[in-house]
Amino acid sequence: MLQIYNTLSRSKQVFKPIVPGKVKIYVCGMTVYDFCHIGHARVMIVFDMVVRWLRASGYEVLYVRNITDIDDKIIQRAIENGEPIAALTNRFIAAMHADSDELGLMHPDQEPRATDYIEQMQGMIGKLIENELAYQADEGDVNFAVRLLPRYGQLSGKSLDELNAGERVAIVGGKRDPLDFVLWKSAKPEEPADTRWASPWGEGRPGWHIECSAMSCDLLGDHFDIHGGGADLQFPHHENEIAQSEGALYGKDRKENDAPFVNYWMHNGHIRVNEEKMSKSLGNFFLIRDVLKSFDPEVLRFFMLKAHYRSPINYSDTQLEEARAGLLRLYTALAQTPGEDQDLDPHHPWAKRFADAMNDDFNTPEAIAVLFDLASEVNRAQGQEKQVLANALRSLGGQLNFLQRDPTTFLQSGTKAAGGLSAAQIEEKIAERVAAKQAKDFAKSDLIRKTLLEQGIVLEDKPGGLTEWRRA
């Protein structure tokens, strides 16, 4: 029985979909004005894992992840580049898809772009004004009146008084209260024509928070199962989504028997770099495509899922090397048996252990520990039992999108940035060693083995005079 930690209740809860057998999930996606970084990678990898496990558990899943293709950062970058908004965003959407494909991730079933949902956003803003939860300021912006919604703060656990005490922003832009947030931004004269749309409140563009409310409600309905995103979005973004969505539907007072906007809120933890928050200003900012120049995509996925999705993780090359070493152990176990694709009986003891881990709030560290235990059993087993256990390892690894490649190919792939000998050069050295052994020049044979080992190449002599190799 699947349990999910619900940020809204601050507890693990048994997962009960709204419609039996079906799951609707929305994940906040990227703002496309630059290449994706490893923080984005964690969101993509975590919710790829969640959707895979839901589907493996028999659910029919509708997975929506949005694209923010209009906001202040996008406008600023387009102006700096001297290019149209669409040219900028289309380029970085293509780059995001390329990164995702390189990481071996599924595409969402729906990937709405904010600029395609302006009408829906304006409709929701209109309902909020009708429900007296939003107002147009003298300067033209339409703002949400936070203090008029008594339940505001339910996701973050902060009261309005606590929020006000910590608020350091002056009342600007015609806001009635510093806690109020913008729903519709009035266009500025100097902004390009492609950054504004006509509306009942004058030309302008949507605020960031209203985008996700409009897109999720349009594609998944006013009430759906799971909403996910990074921990940094819990407040204010997701808090504001709840306020907007429920405010538009129910007004100021949602009754006890009224369905909430979302049943389960999931947030993945932050990424730190050398124990510091990742940021451009600190110079510790890593793009996905740059990391993949040095490390195999499966290694990055393995690194991300070695930690529980809610935990913060520390990123470093050393951590990635440790992840690679772990994958080497698993692939080395598989390299001993011929590859076979066989589904594992869900009642098999190994499948049960694995499922128990995954059903405990997607506990991937424990699930990966099951894979390591299973690999140890593969190494000890003989004959048909070895094959059966290896098939189990492949099958369970596949639930996390691991161990689906040819083991020899992975073992010989190494670290991309490591340089060193090519596969052809290694095979040439192995041939020299074979010739030396045949000539009974064992000193030369041993020297070749030692020299290769110093360069990170491990040789394994097999029956019949065969020699296999892998990178350490």
The full 3-state SS of 132-176, as one line of letters, equals CCEEECCCCCEEECHHHCCCCCCCCCCCHHHHHHHCCCCCCCCCC
At 276 the pLDDT is: 80
- Could you say which of 3.40.50.620, 1.10.3470.10, 3.30.70.1290, 3.50.30.30 is the CATH number of the domain covering 3-271? 3.40.50.620
Give Dmax (Cα) for the chain: 93
Query: Domain-by-domain residue ranges, the chain?
Result: 3-271, 317-407, 420-471
Q: Which amino acid is at 110?
A: Q
At 416 the pLDDT is: 54
At 168 the pLDDT is: 47
Q: In 3D, which of 384, 434, 378 has the Cα closest to residue 407?
A: 378
The model's pLDDT over 289-308, given as tens digits with 9 standing for 90+, comes to 999 999 999 999 999 999 99
Answer whether residue 418 shows pLDDT above 70.
no
Phi, psi (deg, nearest 5) at residue 402:
-120, 160
Q: How far apart are CA 232 and CA 412, in angstroms?
A: 39
The model's pLDDT over 67-119, given as tens digits with 9 standing for 90+, comes to 999 999 999 999 999 999 999 999 999 999 999 999 999 999 999 999 999 99
What is the per-residue DSSP string for 442-461?
HHHHHHHHHHHHHTTEEEEE
When pLDDT is averaged across residues 63-70 and rounded to a whole number, the result is 98
Q: How far apart are CA 37 and CA 100, in angstroms?
A: 11
Query: Token digits for 378?
Result: 């593969």
Enter the CATH code of domain 317-407.
Answer: 1.20.120.640
The model's pLDDT over 329-385, given as tens digits with 9 standing for 90+, comes to 999 999 988 766 567 777 889 999 999 999 999 999 999 999 999 999 999 999 899
248: number of Cβ within 10 Å: 25
Contacts of 345 (CB under 8 A, 6+ apart): 351
At 417 the pLDDT is: 47
Answer whether residue 158 shows pLDDT above 90.
no
| 419 or 82, greater pLDDT | 82
Confidence of residue 415 (pLDDT cuts 50, 70, 90): low
Q: In 3D, which of 359, 352, 282, 355 has the Cα closest to residue 315?
A: 282
Q: How far apart are CA 69 and CA 81, in angstroms?
A: 16
Sheet of 22-27: strands edge to edge? 60-65, 22-27, 224-230, 262-268
Q: In 3D, which of 209, 213, 215, 207 has the Cα closest to residue 186?
A: 207
